[in-house]
Amino acid sequence: MSDTTQTDPVQTVSDQPEPAAKTVDGLYLVDGSGFIFRAFHAIPPLTRSDGTPVNAVMGFTNMLMKLLADHHAEAVAVIFDSKRLNFRNEFYADYKAHRPEPPEELKPQFGIIREAVEAFCVPSIELEGYEADDLIATYARLAREQGRQVTIVSSDKDLMQLVTDGVAMLDPMKNKVIGFEEVFEKFGVTPDKVVDVQALAGDPVDNVPGVPGIGIKTAAQLIGEYGDLETLLERAGEIKQPKRRQALIDNAELARVSKRLVQLDDQAPVPTPLDDLKVREPDHEKLLNFLRQQGFRSIITRVENEIRADGRLVDGAAAPSGSTPTSASATALPTSAPEVRASARFDGKGTYELVQTVEALDRWIAAAHAAGTVAVDTETDSLHACSCKMVGISLAVEQGAACYIPVGHVGPDGVPAEGSLDLAPSDAPPQLPVEEVVARLKPLLEDPAILKVGHNLKFDIQVFGGHGIRLAPIDDTMLISYVLETGLHGHGMDELSKLHCDYTPITYDQVTGTGKSRVTFDRVALDKATEYAAEDADVTLRLYQALKPRLVPERLTTLYETIERPLVPIIADMEAEGILVDCDVLKELSKDLASRLAELEIEIHRVAGHTFNVGSPKQLGDVLFGEMGLQGGKKGKTGAYSTDSATLEPLAEQGHDIVQKVLDWRQFSKLKSTYTDSLQQQIDAKTGRVHTSFSLAITTTGRLSSNDPNLQNIPIRTEEGRKIRRAFIAKPGHTLLSVDYSQIELRLVAEMAGIEALKHAFREGIDIHAMTASQVFGVPLDQMTGDIRRKAKAINFGIIYGISGFGLGRQLGISAGEANSFIKTYLERFSELAAFMDKTKEFCRKNGYVTTLFGRRCHIQGIAERNPARRQFAERQAINAPIQGTAADIIKRAMVRIPSALEAAGLTGRMLLQVHDELIFEVPEAEAAETSEVVRRVMEGAASLGVPLVAEAGTGHSWADAH
DNA sequence: GCAATCACG
DNA sequence: GACGTACGTGATTGCC
């Protein structure tokens, strides 16, 4: 069961959560004409590759698709207005006379939208002389007479008069049901009185006259009082307000005409019998053909995924050229199919939209709703997600259709934008206030039905988190690329764009400049910022379309959806939390180290006979091996003496005091510069804590990495270094909890290679190094010495690294030959191991990658090299990667489960750090014991294997104490 | 910007 | 038997 505990709202289209407004099955009558206009105005301009505008087509198609997917309709029809005049014009010539001609860009789309309906195998209905509303009224009546449920898909107020028991309306864009309550909210009366209110209030849009001076509010009040229009007109003389009374008396006839105009005709002669409106099985080929003609790539992807999920399509048979595993890396963007492009071309600079008004913003939000998927990217003034300022947001809804919303740009002199508290005269460019943009975007960005796609969304999640937005659900193109092609290349956006889209995006440096003249992004001019930022969102969407479809056929969906993707918000929280660091402890250590370094330096210079830079390997080598004549060889192309600790340590042991001093100097210098000094700089001024950044897509094995600062390599191995851990502390009333896996990699070797003797030892809780020592060296456990055990331990580590005689020999200070004989014995004692290593190497040669227990693929380059050195290097990687990678999978699985496990247990502690096989928490003192148990339980249960996983916990005020 | 060195698992 | 060697990272420093 362990594999399926994590669920996420968006896996495939068909997996999406139940819509908020689910209506009962029955007849769905779609107000086609209403939607054409709504879609046209909601979606930014898009054109097909042949120049035909298709934005309304896309909006309409999306709406229809969503409707069919979200509701189990037994019958559906799309109803259109007929072009000609209708019966209302016979008695009121001016009816809808003010309607302007549809915009030029819309006209060609009417026909295409009818094709769209056809492609979905949904009946489309129109009738000369009647408006769509009349046909809808008629069908609704007919269905009601058969006792069937009716849903009118529209948000047009003119249709609200039809709402009654069994007839509801549905606004598919907002996914909102319009029933009695909503109608009452709008008109102030029950649906059956809506026409009376409309007759009085009139409607300037449709040129329905109504009674002058009476609006909806007054009309509702009057109808409420008098019951209906006729009664009101008859008793108009009783009205107290003179003006209102006179208006009603004078315009009684106008009101009656108005009522006839707004009253829908439910007796229209329907062109298609109600019984013919059954939902038919969709013709996928026909639908896909239509979508391809329009170049709706994201919709095509969704449809294909849906079809695939239904199992009606053999993998790859109808997939676009970019989504089959074989051709994916070669051509991500098919060239044959036409593509939707905004008025912009992909490489046409300066054509993305700069959003500076609420109207434009709302248009993009509506477009995102229509598309169902939106690529999001944030721009900030620094790379530190926790402390940076949000400068702008970009959205992309379709290839080429992207915008940039500036919210934090300042003028060239750094004057804040208008709306900031600063009242100084502003030369900041015009832009919407950040609060307003955030407020309008929040429902979209948190909408469980809208997928947010980003590249390295961990960053954007933190930026939005700072503004009270919890971005979800998400897909991350960086992580999709990472699970698909770990080890083949990096996963930065620019690199992936070149690789998959054959396109080089504008670089950050091009926009901000480099070196001395670099400016922060908030000072970049808006046009330049738009080109860069909107393009990033656009590229992200393209990468998504190229990469996401590969997950299923390449069997990487589970890894991505249950491990990598859920980890994103969890790591984001850990980074935002940070860890408390006591600056005074570090200062004290710095001071200490400084004086010891000074002493050592004087001493070293004295022995050398002159001053030199001890920190320069070149100068040091010259002094030690040149001037002083110590034994040591030149190395490498640089021709310089090697002076690393492996070289110097033997010399120090021979009694060369100066060498020992150099080694000490090196160690202290490292501690001071890398840890005590720089760590002080890295404490966040606001939080007093250190916020590292974990990279999720760097390593070739699946591990995380930590940077800025790296908190995964804080010293521990030496006493001096360990002191640095005293500076990492818990806040008042809290304690640090450290829980680490014991011997996880060796346990995994036993498991994956199926080494029975090792598995048995782990199950019995035997000292594993002593046990291997007794096996390999034939020493009984009760005669074990520390030195023999140390050798065995080195061999065990060697196994994990893809052992070689030379490497082991060097580690143990013995000859390669001697080391080789140890290895030989080891492989004889644990005979399953050799087979495992051979099998792994062979698999890697055949496939180019190796896999972990949880299906992660680590691509290994050079496995088939002719050069034996390079090939053997690849082979060692091939041995190591499944082991290291499985351990990484396991701790990630634990990390995904821990926050919810703590919450379920009512515990408030926070996970702060991960150090490969260790997790660090900050917990209230009173919760320490219980938290420790919950965490251990989750960690030990993160995989169920033939060997037990063991997690050990420690607590203390500082990290040094917790270990 | 690269090489050398060394901190961690 | 070649060929150069343990696996995976990140930060700092000196030097070109």
The secondary element (H helix, E strand) that includes residue A695 is strand A693-695
Q: CA A833 – C1' C8 distance (Å)?
A: 21
Q: CA A229 – C1' B8 distance (Å)?
A: 83
Mean pLDDT score, A51-56? 90
Mean pLDDT score, A567-594? 97
Axis crossing angle, helix A297-309 with helix A284-294, rounded to the nearest 10: 160
pLDDT, position A416 = 54
Q: From the alpha carbon of A647, which nucleotide's C1' atom is closest?
A: B5
CA distances from A587 to A293, A391, A730 (A): 68, 35, 18
Half-sphere exposure at residue A834, Cβ-oriented, CA atoms within 13 angstroms: 9
pLDDT for residue A633 is more than 60 = yes
pLDDT, position A310 = 67
Structure tokens at A317: 């048979």
pLDDT, position A426 = 62
pLDDT for residue A315 is more than 50 = no
Asked if residue A568 lies in contact with residue A477, where contact means CB atoms within 8 angstroms, the answer is no
Q: Which residue has the higher pLDDT, A84 or A411?
A: A411
Taking phi first (over 0 means left), then psi (-120 to 50 degrees means alpha), and beta for anything else, what does residue A522 get?
alpha
Residue at minimal CA–C1' distance from C2?
A868
- Dihedral angle over CA of A383, A384, A389, A392, nearest 10: 40
Q: From the alpha carbon of A703, which nucleotide's C1' atom is closest?
A: C8
Q: CA A514 – C1' B1 distance (Å)?
A: 15
Mean pLDDT score, A611-621? 93
Q: CA A643 – C1' C14 distance (Å)?
A: 14
Q: Indicate the pairing of strand A857-859 with strand A705-707.
A: unpaired
Structure tokens at A172: 């598919």
Mean pLDDT score, A323-344? 34
CA separation for the pair A478, A474 (Å, rounded): 12
Q: Which fold has domain A582-683?
A: Taq DNA Polymerase; Chain T, domain 4 (1.20.1060)
CATH of A755-881, picked from 3.40.50.300, 1.10.10.10, 1.10.150.20, 1.10.8.10, is 1.10.150.20
pLDDT for residue A324 is more than 50 = no
pLDDT tens-digit map of A345-402: 455 444 799 999 999 999 999 999 989 999 999 999 999 998 999 999 999 999 999 9
Backbone angles phi, psi at A152, to 5 degrees: -95, 115
CA separation for the pair A773, A777 (Å, rounded): 6
The secondary element (H helix, E strand) that includes residue A587 is helix A583-608
Q: From the alpha carbon of A916, which nucleotide's C1' atom is closest?
A: B9
Q: Rounded to an integer, what is the distance from CA A278 to the centroid of its chain?
A: 39
- List chain B nucleotides near protein: any atom < 7 Å from a Cβ: 3-9
Q: From the alpha carbon of A876, which nucleotide's C1' atom is closest?
A: C7
Q: CB neighbours of A666 closer than 8 A, spacing ≥ 6?
A: A614, A645
CA separation for the pair A784, A770 (Å, rounded): 7
CA-wise closest residue to A486 among A885, A854, A842:
A885
3-class SS of residue A187 = helix
Q: CA A597 – C1' B4 distance (Å)?
A: 20
Q: From the alpha carbon of A716, which nucleotide's C1' atom is closest?
A: B8
Q: CB neighbours of A30 closer than 8 A, spacing ≥ 6?
A: A64, A67, A76, A77, A78, A79, A153, A154
3-class SS of residue A518 = coil
Q: From the alpha carbon of A693, which nucleotide's C1' atom is closest?
A: C10
Q: From the alpha carbon of A698, which nucleotide's C1' atom is closest?
A: C9
Half-sphere exposure at residue A321, Cβ-oriented, CA atoms within 13 angstroms: 11
Buried b (16+ CB within 10 A) or exposed e, A835-861: ebbeebbebbeeeebbbbbbbbbbbbb
CA-wise closest residue to A215 among A204, A234, A200:
A200
Residue at minimal CA–C1' distance from C3?
A869
pLDDT for residue A5 is more than 80 = no
Classify burial at A426, counting beta carbons within 10 Å of its beta carbon; exposed 0-12, middle 13-18, buried 19 or more: middle
Q: CA A916 – C1' B7 distance (Å)?
A: 15
CA-wise closest residue to A177 among A72, A74, A73, A24:
A24
DSSP string for A434-477: HHHHHHHHHHHHH-TTSEEEESSHHHHHHHHHTTT----SEEEH
pLDDT tens-digit map of A881-936: 999 999 999 999 999 999 999 999 999 999 999 999 999 999 999 999 999 999 99
Task: Parse chain A into domains and list their residue ranges.
Answer: 13-277, 341-419+427-578, 582-683, 755-881
pLDDT, position A334 = 30
CA-wise closest residue to A374 among A439, A449, A321, A306:
A449
Taking phi first (over 0 means left), then psi (-120 to 50 degrees means alpha), and beta for anything else, what does residue A886 get?
alpha
pLDDT tens-digit map of A678-712: 999 999 999 999 999 999 999 999 999 999 999 99
Backbone angles phi, psi at A665, to 5 degrees: -60, -45
A822: which DSSP letter? H
pLDDT for residue A336 is more than 80 = no
pLDDT for residue A177 is more than 90 = no
Q: From the alpha carbon of A793, which nucleotide's C1' atom is closest?
A: C6
Mean residue pLDDT across chain A? 88
CATH architecture for the domain at A13-277: 3-Layer(aba) Sandwich (3.40)
3-class SS of residue A169 = strand
Q: CA A327 – C1' C7 distance (Å)?
A: 32
CA separation for the pair A457, A600 (Å, rounded): 48
Residue at minimal CA–C1' distance from B6?
A670
Residue at minimal CA–C1' distance from B9?
A916
Asked if residue A352 lies in contact with residue A534, where contact means CB atoms within 8 angstroms, the answer is yes
pLDDT, position A400 = 92
Residues with CB under 7 A from strand B: A 617, 621, 635-638, 640, 642-646, 648, 663, 666-667, 670-671, 674, 712-718, 721, 884, 915-918
pLDDT, position A960 = 97
Q: Which residue has the higher pLDDT, A44 or A625?
A: A625
Q: CA A801 – C1' C8 distance (Å)?
A: 10
CA separation for the pair A140, A27 (Å, rounded): 8
3-class SS of residue A703 = coil
Classify burial at A572, counting beta carbons within 10 Å of its beta carbon; exposed 0-12, middle 13-18, buried 19 or more: buried
Q: CA A568 – C1' B7 distance (Å)?
A: 27
A734: which strand partners?
Answer: A924
Mean pLDDT score, A280-309? 84
What percent of chain A has a predicted confidence (pLDDT) above 90?
68
pLDDT tens-digit map of A449-489: 999 999 999 999 999 999 999 999 999 999 999 999 999 99
Asked if residue A877 lies in contact with residue A844, where contact means CB atoms within 8 angstroms, the answer is no
CATH of domain A341-419+427-578: 3.30.420.10
Residue at minimal CA–C1' distance from C13?
A615
Lowest-pLDDT range of A300-304, A327-331, A485-489, A831-835:
A327-331
Q: From the alpha carbon of A712, which nucleotide's C1' atom is closest?
A: B8
Q: CA A913 – C1' B9 distance (Å)?
A: 13
pLDDT tens-digit map of A182-193: 888 888 889 999
Q: From the alpha carbon of A800, which nucleotide's C1' atom is closest?
A: C7
Q: Which residue has the higher pLDDT, A308 or A732?
A: A732
Residue at minimal CA–C1' distance from B7?
A713
Q: CA A867 – C1' C2 distance (Å)?
A: 8
DSSP string for A210-262: --TT--HHHHHHHHHHHSSHHHHHHTGGG-SSHHHHHHHHHTHHHHHHHHHHH
- List chain C nucleotides near protein: any atom < 7 Å from a Cβ: 2-16
